[in-house]
Amino acid sequence: MRIESFAAFEGYVEDARARFAARQSEVLVCCGTGCLANGAAAVAEAFAAALEGAPAQVKTFTKRTGCHGFCERGPLVVLRPAGVLYTKVKPRDVAEIVDKTIQGGTVIPRLLYKEPVSGQRIQHYQEVPFYKHQTRVAMRRIGLIDPTDIDDAIAHGAYRGLVKALTMTPEAVLAEVAASGLRGRGGAGFPTARKWRSCRSAKGERKFILCNGDEGDPGAFKDRSIMEGDPHSVLEGMIIGGWAVGAHEGIIYVRDEYPLAVVNLTLAIAQARDRGLLGSNILGTGFDFDIRISRGGGAFVCGESSALMRSLEGKVGEPRAKYVHATDRGLYDLPTVLNNVETWADVGAILEHGGAWFAAMGTEKSKGTKAFSLVGKVKNTGLIELPMGTTLRQIIYDIGGGVIGDRPFKAVQTGGPSGGCVPEALLDLPVDYEKLTEAGSMMGSGGMIVMDDRTCMVDVARYFLKFLTEESCGKCVPCREGLHQMLVIFDDLVAGRGKGGDIERIERLSRGMQLGSLCELGKSAPNPVLSTLRYFREEYVAHVERRECPAGICRDLTTYEIMPQTCDGCHACFKACPVAAITGKVKELHVIHQDKCISCGACYDACPTQAIRFLPKHEMAARGVA
Partner 1 sequence: MNGACGVDLAPAEEVLQRYPAEEASLIQVLQDVHRAYNYLPCDVLTRVAETLHVPLAKVFSVGTFYKAFSLSPQGRTIVKVCTGTACHIRGAVQLLDELCRQLNVEPGGTTADMGFTVKTVNCVGACAMAPVLIVGETYHGNATAAKVGKYLRASGGKADAN
Binding site for partner 1 (CB under 8 A): 33-34, 36-38, 71-72, 74, 215-221, 224, 256-258, 294-300, 311-317, 373, 375-377, 381-382, 413, 416, 447, 449, 451, 455, 460, 463-464, 467, 471, 473, 575-578, 598, 600-602, 605
- What is the closest distance, in whole angstroms, from the C-beta atom of residue 267 to partner 1 in the complex? 19
Q: Which is nearer to partner 1, 151 or 214 (CB)?
A: 214
In the complex, the smallest distance separating the C-beta of residue 365 from partner 1, rounded to whole angstroms, is 27
Query: Is the CB of 455 or the CB of 527 nearer to partner 1?
Result: 455
CB of 463 to partner 1, least distance (A): 5
* Least distance between partner 1 and beta carbon 3 (Å): 31
Q: Which is nearer to partner 1, 216 or 246 (CB)?
A: 216
Q: Burial code of 59-77, b = ≥16 C-beta within 10 A, e = fewer?
A: ebbbbbbbbbbbbbbbbbb
Phi, psi of 619 (to 5 degrees): -70, -45
Structural contact between residues 351 and 238, judged by C-beta atoms closer than 8 angstroms: no
| Amino acid of residue 566 | T
Instruction: Sheet with 84-86: list strands edge to edge.
Output: 60-65, 25-30, 77-80, 84-86
- Nearest distance from C-beta of residue 314 to partner 1, angstroms: 4
* Shortest distance, position 467 Cβ to partner 1, whole Å: 7
Shortest reach from residue 33's CB to partner 1, in Å: 5
Residue number with CB closer to partner 1 (318 or 346): 318
Instruction: Name the residue nearer to partner 1 (CB basis): 398 or 453.
Output: 453
Q: Which is nearer to partner 1, 350 or 375 (CB)?
A: 375
CA dihedral angle for residue 613, residue 618, residue 623, residue 626, rounded to 10 degrees = 80
Distance CA(389)–CA(368), nearest Å, equals 9
CB of 95 to partner 1, least distance (A): 26
Q: Measured from the CB of residue 220, what is the shortest distance to partner 1 in angstroms?
A: 7
Tell me if residue 414 falls in helix, strand or coil. Answer: strand
The half-sphere exposure of 168 on its side-chain side, counting CA atoms within 13 A, is 21
Q: Smallest gap, in angstroms, from Cβ of residue 448 to partner 1?
A: 10
Check residue 76 and report its DSSP letter: P
| Between 189 and 376, CB nearer to partner 1 | 376
Nearer to partner 1, 11 or 298 (CB): 298
Helix (H, G, I), strand (E, B) or coil at 326: coil
Closer residue to partner 1 (CB): 98 or 451 = 451
Least Å distance, CB 555 to partner 1, is 9
> d(Cα 392, Cα 449) in Å, to the nearest integer?
11
Give 612's strand partners.
562
Provide the minimum distance between the beta carbon of 489 and partner 1 in the complex, in angstroms, as a whole number.
Answer: 19
β-sheet bridge partners, residue 385: 371
Contact 208, 308 (CB under 8 A): no
**Cα gap 366→374, rounded to integer Å:** 20
Q: At how many degrees (to 10) do helices 160-167 and 341-353 cross?
A: 70
Separation between Cα atoms, residue 177 and residue 192, nearest integer Å:
7
Least distance in Å: CB of 67 to partner 1?
9
Distance CA 471, CA 473 (A): 6
Of residues 315 and 505, the one with the C-beta less far from partner 1:
315
Query: Which phi and psi angles does 86 have, rounded to 5°?
Result: -110, 135
Evaluate whether 76 touches 38 at the Cβ level (below 8 Å).
no
* 197: nearest Cα among 325, 373, 76, 379: 325
Cβ-proximal residues to 174 (8 Å cutoff; 6+ apart), any chain: 193, 196, 197, 200, 244
By C-beta, is 71 or 503 nearer to partner 1?
71
- CB nearer to partner 1: pick between 488 and 579: 579
Q: How does DSSP assign 337-397, residue by residue?
A: EEEEHHHHHHHHHHHHH-HHHHHTSB-SSSBSEEEEEEEESBSS-EEEEEETT-BHHIIII
Q: How far apart are CA 45 and CA 91, in angstroms?
A: 8
Distances (CA, A) of 32 to 68, 74, 77, 122, 226: 7, 9, 12, 22, 10
Q: Which is nearer to partner 1, 26 or 459 (CB)?
A: 459
What is each CA distance from 622 to 94, 613, 618, 619, in whole angstroms?
60, 17, 6, 5
Q: How far is the CB of 228 from partner 1 (least distance, A)?
A: 9
Q: Which is nearer to partner 1, 196 or 464 (CB)?
A: 464
